Chain A
């Protein structure tokens, strides 16, 4: 129990968040939206880490991992945005479906 809120609720929220991210990744055309979806999915994972970390009172390993994950996500966003920016420069579009040159 965490402040009276059962663990399942956290899990469900995390699952919903993950599914929303996944949906966004799969269905959006815009690369920015896909990136947002990815962020959502990472945050769902981080949420899980934090929740599970609540059961580790001595070391708080969950929280530590969450921090690492946040840093990683930030780094990932930075790299992804840089890629998107370069793709835009090159192709004048940010829609992955229209960036097809490497397919051939």
Chain B
């Protein structure tokens, strides 16, 4: 069912809705500034209040925008004569949805953090940085031009850098935030190149103008590709042409930015390391901010992608989804499993965008945000309690290692329940939100009719099955069986108790949003959910819209569910009953998966090492040759100036001094006559007179 096109209101005045959106955007910044500059001992209430008000404002915006009206507020920002840049807010269904999502999840995470981060040395800093993080993400969502998105995009990268390295006194955290930042920079550069290509072609970076709005075609749609040229004629009739490949390149460049932010292959390596940050930060990064930014951007610029670009996007997404799922199978670190699961799910979204299942991708983004946030918060709860035990008895073990957990479901009943809900959602079982959105993606993949579509569809289905397996491996390892930690220490009771209300209530709220009811009345099919129907695929002149086939729509959900249930049972047998040991630790496949396909090693030995070598060479070059030239030039100048100095001292000064000396001597000599003695003058006068007389007589 199509929603009739929604009227867009272009405005230059701040109306109530736009004011509310601006307020929602700026409040977290305000809280960041206040906490940073005034350094209250506890900044939590401030951050939570501002975020919550921000959430209420977002809700107000959302109710005024969703399926009713879009707003585009724009004001001139820069005017250099030739280039005019506007800055403003875009408020349509997508950004309103994201606005609510981000603020709601951040509010919950902040409330959770008050307990989780209790007693931290830099407690107020945590809340300040989290506020900044949310501000940046809201900026990405609300920005109306690619340049503004880019600015906030960088801010997201920067604030994630601060948060990943929150425990910056740990070497691993410091290394992880550097890695995240550098890997993200790679994508950012590509993103910027993409922006520049678009600017060259269209002379504007406004999202609405470029990519069109619900009822109006954008400049991208007006441009045509013919005879290997990408042509665009603006209103005044000036035609611009670029090579047709530039269209694909621009799309892929912007996509590369999303690849880095959303941790897609080959730039996914930062995300598992980012687990060094506090778990609550991970939950935010993985749910509503940061990684969502990449998918959001790809969705925003969707009309830009040429068929070739979309093919690349599809393959990257599908490969990432599969790869990350296989890695998640063997990880022992609780958070690492979830990290790879995020990469895998993001792969799903990216694939969905690639095949044109635009709405499904964003639907999955929303549902995933809730259950992934919940998974992390649940994991945080487990880790938090184990950490307490570790602290209490001064034990030496890794509180994130699943090999030491087990049987925790009676000690942590709430955490167990919410994690189970989230896991069922992630595994894609009916009645849960994850089922609705993931199913749509799988249906899309099976309906996709392009060469190689079967590979993508099979890959995604296999990944979906693997997802169910690894997440239930986690559930069984952590909550079932016997407590393996107890075995290592015999005389201490290591039982844990449930976390406090500040942690459990946000988790329960998220658990409600992980159920189907929050999104769709029909628990078995997501195509009629309000999010799916509310989001309108942007017009696209290069790619046809995907049509679900009857076959896919009827069979894919059944097969997926059967596979998922089977996998849950297999996981139960393998990790609870421990009757299957098909994945021994000496197996090559196991090692391959455990070491994350050796990507880190590969990057280290190929890229990092060559970069370091190059850097060393450049350093050598710098020290010996550049510095040599500079120093040589300096020495030469020094010597030359010594010569000039000598000439100056001896010849120039010499002649000047000589003249002065001569004048002085003459003066001295002449002064001899000026005795001041009148009689002498007179005598001289007389003798002179006599001399004249005598001479006049002689001659």
- A96 adjacent to B682 (CB under 8 Å): no
- Residue numbers in A under 8 Å from B678 (CB-CB): 96
- A27 CA / B677 CA spacing, docked (Å): 12
Q: Please tell me if B676 contacts chain A, counting CB pairs below 8 Å.
A: yes
* Contact yes or no, A25 B677, CB < 8 A: no
Q: Is the CB of B686 within 8 A of A34?
A: no
**Interface check B83, CB cutoff 8 A:** no
Please pick, from A26, A100, A102, the residue contacting B679 in the complex, using a CB distance under 8 A.
Answer: A26
A96 closest partner in B (C-beta): B678
Q: How far is the CB of B122 from chain A (nearest CB, A)?
A: 82
Q: Are B686 and A26 in contact (CB under 8 A)?
A: yes
Question: Contact at A26–B683, with CB atoms within 8 Å?
Answer: yes
Interface residues of B in 662-697 (CB under 8 A from A): 674-679, 682-683, 686
Kindly report which residue of chain B lies nearest to residue A103, judged by CB atoms: B676
Contacts of B683 in A (CB 8 A): 26
The smallest beta-carbon distance between B622 and chain A, in angstroms, is 68
- Report how far A22 CA is from B686 CA in the complex, Å: 9
Complex contacts, B677 vs chain A, CB 8 Å: 96-97
Main SS of the interface on chain A? helix
Residue of A nearest to B679 (CB): A26
- Residues of B near A25 (CB, < 8 A) are 679, 682
Looking at chain B's contact residues, the main secondary structure is helix
A102 to B676, CA, bound (A): 8
Cβ contact within 8 Å between A26 and B676: no
Min CB distance A18 to B, Å, is 11
A25 and B676 CA atoms in complex are apart in Å by: 16
Q: In chain A, what residue has the closest Cβ to B674?
A: A103
Given contacts A22-B686, A26-B686, contact A34 B676 (CB under 8 A): no
B686 contacts which chain A residues (CB < 8 A)?
22, 26
Query: Considering the complex, which residues of chain A in the window 75-104 have a beta carbon less than 8 Å from any beta carbon of chain B?
Result: 96-97, 100, 102-103
A30 to chain B, nearest CB (A): 11
A26–B690 Cα gap in the complex (Å)? 15
A11-43 interface code vs B (CB 8 A; 1 in, 0 out): 000000000001001110000001000000000
A34 to B681 CA separation, bound complex (whole angstroms): 14
B binding-site residues for A, Cβ under 8 Å? 674-679, 682-683, 686
19 A–B pairs (Cβ distance < 8 Å), ordered by A: A22-B686, A25-B679, A25-B682, A26-B679, A26-B682, A26-B683, A26-B686, A27-B679, A34-B679, A96-B677, A96-B678, A96-B679, A97-B677, A97-B679, A100-B676, A102-B676, A103-B674, A103-B675, A103-B676
Extra 16 A-B pairs, beta carbons < 8 Å, given A25-B679, A25-B682, A26-B686 = A22-B686, A26-B679, A26-B682, A26-B683, A27-B679, A34-B679, A96-B677, A96-B678, A96-B679, A97-B677, A97-B679, A100-B676, A102-B676, A103-B674, A103-B675, A103-B676
